[in-house]
Amino acid sequence: MFRIFLMKLFVQLQLFVHRKDGATAIEYAILVAVIALVVMVAAQTLGTDIAALLDRVGDAIAAPAA
């Protein structure tokens, strides 16, 4: 009984090692992580510029008309 279990486990491990689907999933995960990093850096950089622009717009709206 235990021997059959070990044999099935060994076969499943061999199939897992030789399967190519896992490598593709890892490649996609790395790609998604890189894209997320780029989006975070861009949002941080643009966020500061957008905040400054909105501050200027707010100041222009709040300023009394001359």
Tokens of 63: 């300023």
User: For residues 22 and 16, is the Cβ–Cβ distance under 8 A?
Assistant: yes
Counted domains in the chain:
1
Tokens of 21: 């689907």
Q: What is the pTM of this model?
A: 0.47
Q: Is residue 31 part of a domain?
A: yes
Amino acid symbol at 38? V
Domain of 45 in residue numbering reads as 23-60
Amino acid symbol at 30? I
Give the pLDDT of the chain (66 residues) as one tens digit per residue. Answer: 778 888 888 888 788 777 776 677 788 899 999 999 999 998 888 888 888 999 999 998 987 765
What's the pLDDT score for residue 65? 66
Cα distance between residue 10 and residue 12, in whole Å? 5
Instruction: Give 65's DSSP letter.
Output: P
Specify the 3-state DSSP secondary structure of 66. Answer: coil
What's the pLDDT score for residue 31? 93
Q: Is residue 15 part of a domain?
A: no
What's the pLDDT score for residue 53? 92
Q: Is residue 3 part of a domain?
A: no
